[in-house]
Amino acid sequence: MDWNMLVPRPRRVETAEGRFRLPEVFRCHAETEGSLAALQAAMDFVGYPIRPVSRASEAHIRLRHRALQSDYYSMEIPPDGPIEVQVDSEHGTEGAASAAWILAAGIVAAGATRKKAANAEHTEPAAEANASGSRDLPAARISDGPRHVWRGVMVDSARQFFPLPVLKRFIDLAALHRLNVFHWHLTDDQGWRFESRTYPRLTEIGAWRDDNTANYAREGGYYSQGEMQEIDRYARVRGIRIVPEIDIPGHVRAALAAYPNLSCRRTELAVPRRFGIFEDVLCVGNVEVHRFLESIFSEVAEVFSGDLVHIGGDECPTSRWQECPRCTERLRVNSATDYTTLHADALRIASRALAAAGKRPVCWDEALDSAPPEEAIIMCWRNPQAAARALELDHEVVLCPTDRACYFDHAHTSDPNEPGRIGVCSVEDVAEFAPESHVPEDRAHRLLGAQGNLWTEGLPFGKWLEYMAFPRLAMLADTLWLRSEEVAGAGERGPRIRAHAERLADIGVNVYRGPYSEVSS
């Protein structure tokens, strides 16, 4: 294997003579528990047991924390060992995870994994290196660090409920690509997955919908607060921050099915069976809704350890507000005439609850159509103009444009046999995505990075998630890791990504293996 063929590609690699023989058990000396846990997680993925040792002289791997300036980590792999890893003290667990998972990526690339990741439970028996691989790694010196601080993926658990093993496997694959944000879409019209102890009907009713088949009366599920904390811990060890999303004030039909009094009409509603945009939204003129938002976002802040919570804000019609006496009165009290100000009102209520818990909001770019909370990060999905507007207002920005770039629920090609909805996003399209091109140069410091979005209507299985994600997510991860001058289009990166896709397939990932563009084969 060649360290320069990994995805994402390390920033600087100096090759050396010889090869490091992989031991049966990695003896590890780490200066912090976080570094040790990060290495344990990565080696568990490839099937190598870790044994901590108190003496650095006895270790196969030594992890030390130092000030490295622009690098997250540096790694020296001499033929006779030990592997020396310097982790930047400022980046802590994320830096240790980056080093640990590139080592795991090297083991995968060498065909030396001792455990196949063939299913969500990771239960396939251990195996020796495959026939084409070896049990050693090329000697090298690696210095590495990403360009962007937000390298993310969004998974929609609202349209389809995924059990914890599926999510953990996907988080492992995200860590293998050195992603550091897992945006977890937990609520929408079609399902409410967040357990609320204050509003239990949200999951008793809102977590389930009629699937319209003869075999099952309903489908769905939800995550207990303990399960969500388990996922939060699992991701954190792997250098990944969970950003949970509770989508308000629109996309709330599941919540309104549970609590009709939170809607303007206060009529009985069912959890929808179809996707789309629905007229019934939270009644912002109702003080009960204010208490609901304060309570829910306070609970979310308690469950998740990260400092960011996504509060939605997308695709919210105003028609119900315009016919609602309470909302009209709220508008009058606020000396406003535009009903979109109620949208900003709802986001501010949620943001205040988060601020009281030391958290910061993230919003979809529709928040710019009213008045987004000043402290909010704006996630721009509709068009490049949204990013420009957000930056003019001095917001930090995350890009995830739907136009043939970052929406991985779209089909890989226009072939009618390919799964996917609404549009096309080829691997080549992802390769051509250049985040910096969407922002003015003098505002580039406010661009945090980008992410791929996986909406899941019609994608009920973890293996289907993998098929839609890879290798497009791998290509995006490569873009977000490399410096802008190092990023090339699909023509140059295609062979490296395709070789990487074959390695993913070798460890059991259900990777897409078709054309990388509409014109290539």
Q: How far is CA 239 from CA 52, 75, 97, in A?
A: 20, 17, 5
Assigned domain for 166 exists: yes
Indicate whether 180 and 137 sit together in one domain: no
Complete DSSP assignment for 423-488: SB--HHHHHH--GGGGS-GGGGGGEEEEEEEE--TT--SHHHHHHHHTTHHHHHHHHHHS-GGG--
For residue 155, tell me if it sits in a domain.
no
- CATH code of 305's domain: 3.20.20.80
For residue 227, being part of any structural domain is answered with no
Say which amino acid occupies 292. F
Q: For residue 228, is it within any domain?
A: no
Whether residues 111 and 213 share a domain: the answer is no
The confidence score (pLDDT) of residue 383 equals 84
Q: Are 197 and 494 in contact (CB under 8 A)?
A: no
- Domain identity same for 131 and 255: no
Same-domain pairing of 33 and 140: yes
Report strand pairing: 377-380 vs 360-364: parallel
Give how many domains the chain has, as a whole number. 3
Inside any domain, residue 496 = yes
Tokens representing 297?
Answer: 């976002």
Neighbours of 393 (CB within 10 A): 12
Q: Are residues 390 and 513 in the same domain?
A: yes
pLDDT the model gives residue 98: 96
Collapsed DSSP state (helix, strand, coil) of residue 196: coil
Do 420 and 278 fall within a single domain? no
The answer to whether residue 151 is domain-embedded is no
Per-residue DSSP letters for 172-192? HHHHHTT--EEEEE-EETTEE
Q: What are phi and psi of 13, to 5 degrees?
A: -130, 125
Residues 257, 346, single domain; the answer is yes
Continuous H helices in 51-124: 92-109
State whether 268 and 315 are in the same domain.
Answer: yes
Chosen domain end from 375, 396, 417: 375
Task: Please check whether residue 190 lies inside any domain of the structure.
Answer: no
Last residue of a domain, one of 347, 375, 403: 375
What does each of the 521 residues of the chain score in pLDDT, given as a tens digit? Answer: 899 999 999 999 999 999 999 999 999 999 999 999 999 999 999 999 999 999 999 999 999 999 988 789 999 999 998 999 999 988 888 999 999 999 999 999 999 998 755 443 443 433 444 444 468 999 999 999 999 999 999 999 999 999 999 999 999 999 999 999 999 999 999 999 999 999 999 999 999 998 766 566 788 999 999 999 999 999 999 999 999 999 999 999 999 999 999 999 999 999 998 889 999 999 999 999 999 999 999 999 999 999 999 999 999 999 999 999 999 999 999 899 899 999 999 999 999 999 999 999 999 999 999 889 999 999 999 987 899 999 999 999 999 999 989 999 999 999 999 999 889 999 999 999 999 888 888 898 999 999 999 999 988 899 999 999 999 999 999 999 987 777 777 678 889 999 999 999 999 999 999 999 986 54
CATH of the domain at 114: 3.30.379.10
Helix H or strand E segment including 141: strand 136-144
> Which residues have CB under 8 Å from 41's CB, separation 6+?
97, 100, 172, 175, 237, 238
Structure letter (DSSP) for residue 411:
B
CA 247 to chain centre: 16
Pair 520, 414 in one domain:
yes
CA distances from 72 to 25, 444, 465 (A): 26, 21, 29
C-alpha radius of gyration, the chain, whole number: 24
Q: What is the pLDDT of residue 519?
A: 66
Q: Which of 317, 350, 375 is the last residue of a domain?
A: 375
Q: What is the DSSP string of 284-299?
A: TT-HHHHHHHHHHHHH
Same domain, yes or no: 395 and 439: yes
Q: Is position 255 within any domain?
A: yes
167 shares its domain with 35: no
Q: How many angstroms separate the CA atoms of 94 and 87, rounded? A: 9
Q: Do residues 128 and 255 both lie within one domain?
A: no
Q: Are 357 and 369 in contact (CB under 8 A)?
A: no
- Backbone φ and ψ for 344, nearest 5 degrees, come out as -65, -35
Domain ranges, residue 49: 3-144
